Amino acid sequence: MHRIESAIEKAVKFRSHGIFISETFELARRQARDAIEKGLNPFPVAVKDCFLTSTSTTCASQMLENYTPPMNATVVDRIVAKGGCIIGKTNLDEFCMGTSSALGHFGPVKSALSEATSDDWLIPGGSSGGSAVAVQTGIADLAVGSDTGGSTRNPAAFNGVFGFKPTYGVLSRSGLIPLVNSLDSPSIFATSAESCWKYLEMLSGIDAADSTSVNLPEIEGIKSIEGLKVGIPAEYNNECLSDDAWKLWNHAANILERQKAQIIPISLPTTKYSLACYSVLSAADIASNMARYDSVAYGHRSKMENSTYEMYRELYLEKALKVRRKISNEIRDAFKKVDIIITPTATGTAPKYSELRDTLFTKEDDDDYFTQAANLAGIPAISVPIGKGCNGLPIGVQLMANKLQDKTLCNIAQLLYSRVL
């Protein structure tokens, strides 16, 4: 119970950072008592508020402000069955659309890595910013996020924690409010890659309620970097990458090489189209999934009555699907030559809110460039804290592996991080 009470105290301490949309302290206490009675060790969990819980689920939208689901998401039930105690539902960009966690109905998430004011603050990344900050502040041992194009890895990098997007289908999407069905992946924040794997084992498995769910194969993983083939894609050294991020990307590669890994230059030329491809595919899925929020059956009704024809119009879907296939094929072919691919997670350190606002949030697209390909290909990817920029803020590198090589990926991430410390 001590760990749960400590988590609650920290959640109260950091309330001004907007980490939680709803706090479920009494629920966490009940879950802790139940866990102890079952012989389990209770541990504190934060859940992104796009996963259904029978307390409330808003997806940071006024549309769902008073919505109480009749069920829990599968991953939530599995967490609680293993001793997880839900401290609260974490804040995010509305309907998971954004990489700043500043665009939700209930206010922004503010990073705890610097002082914040009402007018400006350090961006925690997004859209799973609340979950990332919950781990960074020590409130949660495990925080659940979702990742459609980098929404877990981006805030993990900005907050100096691990953010792990498993292979598509390994974690059930049942009870995750759908946004982009073919890209959405429940994901994990933790303080180590070892913990990411531990929690993945707790939560994974076939779910009859999710037809896309798959089982992870049983593999031994690896205990040494020696002989590992590491791919470095030339296209990720682009004009948006900061000097700090470039240097630490190289630093990570050098660490692996000193441990007798083989560094292999590779090319993923279609990556440059990933943002356009992602934008078209996500718009198509969003138009379909958001159609239910018409204020007729339930939800907030806007006074604006303009036609939604333009929003739903799909002009480029077939072309985008072809580009997605080409990106997937390039990555699949790359894994015939290498075991993992290492890239930056973002362009650099976390920006201030004022920087994003003054540039109309264009930096979000620059950061997305590094993470979207993993979602388009359905492969596992993890952001690993690798160091700090000249401003003292965290920077992460991203490791990607072939489909269903999640354990190997976490093993390598932990081995890399152990050399960083």
- Contact criterion met (CB below 8 Å) for 76 and 53: yes
Mean pLDDT, residues 390-403: 98
Rounded (to 5) percent helix, strand, coil in the chain: 40, 15, 45
**Range with the largest mean pLDDT of 182-196, 268-282, 288-302:** 182-196
- Estimate the crossing angle of helix 193-203 against helix 74-81, to 10 degrees: 110
111 occurs within a structural domain: yes
Please give the pLDDT value at position 347: 97
Q: Which residues contact 261 (CB under 8 A, 6 or more apart)?
A: 225, 226, 227, 228, 229, 230
Which one, of 193, 176, 127, 185, lies nearest residue 154 by Cα?
Answer: 127
**What domain range includes position 23?**
1-292+310-418
Tokens 């076939």 sit at which residue?
206
Q: What is the pTM of this model?
A: 0.94
Query: How many structural domains comprise the chain?
Result: 1
pLDDT, residue 308, reads 45
Rounded to 10 degrees, what is the CA torsion of 70, 76, 80, 81?
90
Residue 167 lies in a domain: yes
| Active site residue ranges | 48, 127, 151
pLDDT on residue 317: 86
Report the CATH number at residue 117. 3.90.1300.10
Question: How far apart, in Å, are the Cα atoms of 47 and each of 17, 217, 257, 318, 413?
Answer: 16, 27, 37, 35, 24
Q: Could you tell me if residue 301 is inside a domain?
A: no
Alpha-carbon torsion 345, 143, 149, 416, what sign? positive
What pLDDT band is residue 300 in, cutting at 50, 70 and 90?
Answer: low
Q: What is the separation, in whole angstroms, between the first and last Cα of the chain?
A: 31
Confidence class for position 91, pLDDT limits 50, 70, 90: very high
Q: Does 416 have pLDDT greater than 90? A: yes
Position 332 in a domain: yes
In a domain, residue 269? The reply is: yes
Instruction: Examine residue 49 and state whether it is found in any structural domain, yes or no.
Output: yes
Tokens 């952001």, residue located: 383
Domain membership flag for residue 118: yes
Asked if 8 and 87 count as a contact pair (C-beta separation under 8 A), the reply is yes
* 400 DSSP 8-state letter: E
Predicted confidence (pLDDT) at residue 139 exceeds the cutoff of 70: yes
Domain-embedded: residue 262: yes
Longest dimension (CA), the chain: 63
